[in-house]
Amino acid sequence: MLETIREFALERFDEAADADELRGRHAEHFLTLALEAQPELVRRDQRHFLDRVEADHDNFRAALAWLLDRDPENALNLAHALGVFWYTRGHVREGRDWLVAVLEGASPAPSATRAGAFDWAGYLSNELGEDARELLEQAVACARDADAAAALARARSQLPITLADGDERIAVLEDALAIAEQAGDPFVLGVALNNLGVESSERGETGRARELYEESYRVRAEMGDLARMALSLGNLADTAFGAGDLTRARDYATQALTLARKVGVRREASGALDELGWIALAEGRIGEARELFNEALTLMLEIGGLSLALLTLHGHAAVAAASGDARLAARLAAAASPDVHGDTFLGPGGQALFERHLAVARAQTDPAEWDEAWAAGAALTIEQAAAEVLGP
């Protein structure tokens, strides 16, 4: 429909006596649809339901906008139901914005839904590279006050992404897993197992990490949650890569990429491509590694996953170093450095490979020239650093 005709039709519609009634019926219909789709978005037919919600995304937006002013509680119900869709399909910034808006307008009374909305808002904020601690702490407090075990387990599983102390992170994650095992929600159990696996990997407990990832994969496979199965496979690939088993790592990462593309999940596809890039670099296929990192970084930027983009910028820095472009390596490494963005865990294999290539490049470069390039890179935003390798 031509935009001018659409605007004219909307003006006429707003003049109608029953406009509010019809908008209310529209919002009620799409709230019902979202609530029906919500559990299916993490089950075997998720591609069908993800596509269905995607096709009506504008209708859901219109329903949210109408409910936000007139029925804040149902606005909260609708936004919470769409949380997994926004995350899975990469509508990161939009989802975060809607969730924050509805939380501000809804009743502060604790409930599992309100806790879940805080949790999704916090996790999406973290994906954007923002400080999500307050949102996730509110998710934990709200779930506890509402005596909502599954919501509490999931919020406790997400909270450690905001915590600096490793012992505190592991304690919170162990507690979250214990709650999840009692809650009886397989989606939450898969999250708790996976996130404890990530922390175990960071602590160098490779064997335990692998067992936790395998269990999370089993739980998700029983649900038929292909998107989260891809995530568990990507983490298994990272563990195998860290152990030096490149063949198994490639197999896991390839399976993860296949599943992610089958469901249309750009986030998990970008993670698998990133892993395949590190494997290619480890095997000396520098050009292929560059192309894989380019594809991964493009997807990450499309969904606004700036925290994930940092991982691939490290990969590009290592590729630049391996290619003999020390200045670019220094600029990209500085742009993604912990001094600017906080610690970024590349996995045991990626971290060692990155440090080795960067050390060689630095040793072969005049110290003043290296320092100059590093200082220039540290002043770049993530998007500016990405443009160094992808173009404007």
Q: What is the 3-state secondary structure (H, E, C) of 240-300?
A: HHHCCCHHHHHHHHHHHHHHHHHHCCHHHHHHHHHHHHHHHHHCCCHHHHHHHHHHHHHHH
CA distance 279 to 311: 14
- At position 125, the amino acid (one-letter code) is S
Tokens read off for 184: 């009886």
Q: Could you please state the CATH topology (level 3) that the domain comprising 108-224 is classified under.
A: 1.25.40
Reference 102, options 156, 168, 55, 34; nearest CA is 34
Specify the residue for token string 């919002």. Answer: 27
Q: Which residues contact 207 (CB under 8 A, 6 or more apart)?
A: none
Reference 279, options 232, 320, 246; nearest CA is 246
Specify the residue for token string 């709650």. Answer: 179
pLDDT at 344: 65
* Burial (CB count within 10 angstroms: exposed 0-12, middle 13-18, buried 19+), residue 256: buried
pLDDT at 340: 57
CA distance 255 to 234: 8
The tens-digit pLDDT sequence of the chain (392 residues) is: 799 998 999 888 888 888 889 999 999 999 999 999 999 999 999 999 999 999 999 999 999 999 999 999 999 999 999 999 999 999 999 999 999 999 999 999 999 999 999 999 999 999 888 999 999 999 999 999 999 999 999 999 999 999 988 899 999 999 999 999 999 999 999 999 999 999 999 899 999 999 999 999 999 999 999 999 999 999 999 999 999 999 999 999 999 999 999 999 999 999 999 999 999 999 999 999 999 999 999 999 988 877 788 889 999 999 999 999 999 999 999 998 866 555 566 777 888 899 999 999 999 999 999 999 999 999 999 899 999 999 87
343-347 contacts at long range (C-beta below 8 A, 24 or more positions apart): 344/307, 344/310, 344/311, 344/314, 345/198, 345/201, 345/202, 346/278, 346/311, 346/314, 347/201, 347/238, 347/239, 347/241, 347/242, 347/278
CA distance 300 to 273: 11
Reference 256, options 221, 286, 222, 283; nearest CA is 221
Topology match between the domains 108-224 and 226-392: yes
* Burial (CB count within 10 angstroms: exposed 0-12, middle 13-18, buried 19+), residue 28: middle
For the segment(s) 226-392, the CATH number from 1.25.40.10, 1.20.1260.10, 3.90.1150.10, 3.30.870.10 is 1.25.40.10
pTM attached to this predicted model: 0.91
Give the DSSP letter string of 323-348: TT-HHHHHHHHHHT-HHHH------H
Q: Where are the domains of the chain?
A: 16-105, 108-224, 226-392
**CB count in 10 Å sphere of residue 286:** 16
